[in-house]
Structure 1
Amino acid sequence: MQRKVFSSKVYLHKTVLVTGGCSGIGRALVLRFAQAGARPVILDLDQAALDSLVQHLQQHLNVEALGLRCDIADPEAVRQAVALAVERFGGIDVLINNAGITHRSLFAETDLKVFQRVMAVNFYGALHCTQAALPSLVARQGQIIVLSSLTGFAPLLYRSAYNASKHALHGLFDTLRMELDGTGVAITLACPGFTATDLRKNALVGDGSVIRQPATVLGSEVASPRDVAEAIYQGALRRKRLLVLSNVNWRARILARYFPRLFERLLVPRMSGLKPGPR
């Protein structure tokens, strides 16, 4: 385990915008940065959850926070939300592109609208938020943290749209990092493995409806959102370029990189959990 950087108030009075911030890793990140003195701006679709989290931050951590209902797939809604955040707190120091959705279905049985929705949230949502926040981030020499996935190097079965969206994030933000060289803006791509969140519980199927039964993960330990958030926080302190937090061990990653056919035959079915249900 890496040695932690102990800095209780490194982000004191820094504004940290987190998308999908009311549950799972997003919520854990909001709480972790708030503990370090940050002022969270939380974007989510669940107004009741936003109100509850903002109240919790105020009452238990004495932290000023702003919760905004926002569909990050809508660029105009994102622009308005970022403008409100800048008006309230003066700017944005850290942008955490966390929000995401997934699906579980065979490519041949997946409607185009599923691909479009997954890309709209996972890829374009991050793009919209980054474009809107970039002037402030450059002015403050801030940070962009992008939640990718183990699928960035080890694709899972029945997740073609999800896998594609994560590869697209790497292409976008690796390029942006080069373009921002010299500005002082740091970009971190974080790749968690299997994590106990609602992402899999709310997966889409091929026709666009939501799976009611959660997928199982075979042969892998499931990380807690709190542990993943702590690892991302520690990486942010160091302004790391890439964080591979996957609980798929290093042998599996080497197999995926250098012996892809063997990896696909032996490990991908096991990692991918249950086969997709009937259409």
Structure 2
Amino acid sequence: MSALAQRRVLVTGASGTFGRQLCAALTAAGARVVGVDRQPDSIDGVPVLGCDLTDPDAVPPTVAAAVDRLGGLDLLVNNAGVGGPAPAELPPDEVVRQQLEVNLLAAWRTTAAALPALEATRGRVVFVASRMALLPLPLAAAYGVSKRALVAYADALRHEVGTHVGVSVVYPSMVASPIHDSTADAGLSLEGVSRPETVQGVVAAILRAATARRAPRDVATTRRGRLELAVARHAPTLADRLVRRTVATRIAAGDLDAAPLAAGMLRRHRDATG
């Protein structure tokens, strides 16, 4: 981690589950860190600037203030994100709009505001996406769509600025955090669907992306994650079959019976299976 010594880093979602440990790990490695979150705060000596990243007018001055405080910028970690249940068969509501705003557009705004400073230092930007960007699950369409779109944005950005700014995407699976609370409250827990992993493993993957000699394009957080990404990319029909089998197992076990948002899917599944 000596490559992080004195590097100037901006972390969004700094007060969240990943953000706090990421700020601590970066600081321990000798980096100078400023965070951004909805409310101003201080995390073990790391200043957190308050900003609503869904407000287009608020983002540029907040990023400018962070860059000024750091004296430049070497690394941006777009970590801020929200989740929530959202069946694809239902019209988009406020839950869907919020996930698109935070998971996609907020990262886009923040990156655009930070790019001049990153280009000046030949810096890097790391996007925290999700395994669901490539392996989408039913009843969570907004999250999968927003994260897949985030990957598409990163890919386009890499073509535009990759000669001067490294662009990497990290793909965590399920990590126990408040981001899943609303989904669990709706009776749509991911228990038994996604294999849990640790926050520390995700943070380590982000740091690998930040310190590799060349910015890696895609970074899985576990060995299993690397396999899942490969299957999703190179054998999408097999990936679909695996997801359908997992969902069918949950339906057969009655795991979704108490979830009103799953009613349509349950009805169609039972019609199809007799």
Partner in structure 2 of residue 208 of structure 1: none
- Does the 8 A contact of 1:153 with 1:253 survive in 2? no
- Does the 8 A contact of 1:150 with 1:191 survive in 2? yes
Q: Which amino acid aligns with 1:19?
A: T
Cα gap change, 1:268 to 1:25, in 2 (>3 Å): farther
Q: Offset at 1:25?
A: 1.4
Alignment of 1:71-86 (within 5 A): 71-86=52-67
- Identity of matched residues, %: 29
Partner in structure 2 of residue 245 of structure 1: 221
TM-score normalised by L of structure 2: 0.82
**Aligned counterpart in structure 2 of residue 41 of structure 1, from 18, 34, 45:** 34
Cα gap change, 1:88 to 1:109, in 2 (>3 Å): same
Q: Which amino acid aligns with 2:38?
A: L
| Alpha-carbon distance between aligned partners in 2 of 1:277 and 1:236, rounded to the nearest angstrom | 40
- Does the 8 A contact of 2:170 with 2:220 survive in 1? yes
**Aligned counterpart in structure 2 of residue 24 of structure 1, from 6, 9, 17:** 17
Cα gap change, 1:220 to 1:230, in 2 (>3 Å): same
Deviations 1:68-106 (A, max 9, x none): 111111122111111111221222111101111111132
TM-score normalised by L of structure 1: 0.81
Higher relative contact order, chain-length normalized (CA < 8 Å, sep 6+): 1
**Aligned counterpart in structure 2 of residue 94 of structure 1, from 31, 53, 75:** 75
Moved over 3 A (4+): 108-111, 211-214, 246-249, 268-276
Higher helix proportion? 2
Q: Which amino acid aligns with 1:128?
A: R
- Does the 8 A contact of 2:74 with 2:123 survive in 1? yes
Q: Offset at 1:251?
A: 6.4
Cα gap change, 1:159 to 1:251, in 2 (>3 Å): closer
Cα gap change, 1:80 to 1:268, in 2 (>3 Å): farther
| Alpha-carbon distance between aligned partners in 2 of 1:122 and 1:102, rounded to the nearest angstrom | 9
Q: Which runs of 5+ in 2 are unaligned?
A: 262-274
- Does the 8 A contact of 2:193 with 2:246 survive in 1? no
Q: Offset at 1:67?
A: 1.2
Aligned-pair Cα RMSD in Å: 2.7
Partner in structure 1 of residue 49 of structure 2: 68
**Aligned counterpart in structure 2 of residue 233 of structure 1, from 207, 210, 216:** 207
**Aligned counterpart in structure 1 of residue 116 of structure 2, from 135, 146, 154:** 135
| Alpha-carbon distance between aligned partners in 2 of 1:270 and 1:165, rounded to the nearest angstrom | 26
| Alpha-carbon distance between aligned partners in 2 of 1:113 and 1:200, rounded to the nearest angstrom | 17
| Alpha-carbon distance between aligned partners in 2 of 1:71 and 1:26, rounded to the nearest angstrom | 16
Is 1:195 the counterpart of 2:172? The answer is no
Provide the aligned length of Structure 1 versus Structure 2: 253
**Aligned counterpart in structure 2 of residue 254 of structure 1, from 207, 228, 231:** 231
Deviations 1:155-196 (A, max 9, x none): 01111111110111111110110111322x111100011112
Q: Which runs of 5+ in 1 are unaligned?
A: 1-6, 58-64, 205-210
Alignment of 1:187-226 (within 5 A): 187-203=167-183, 211=185, 215-218=189-192, 220-226=194-200
| Alpha-carbon distance between aligned partners in 2 of 1:241 and 1:186, rounded to the nearest angstrom | 9
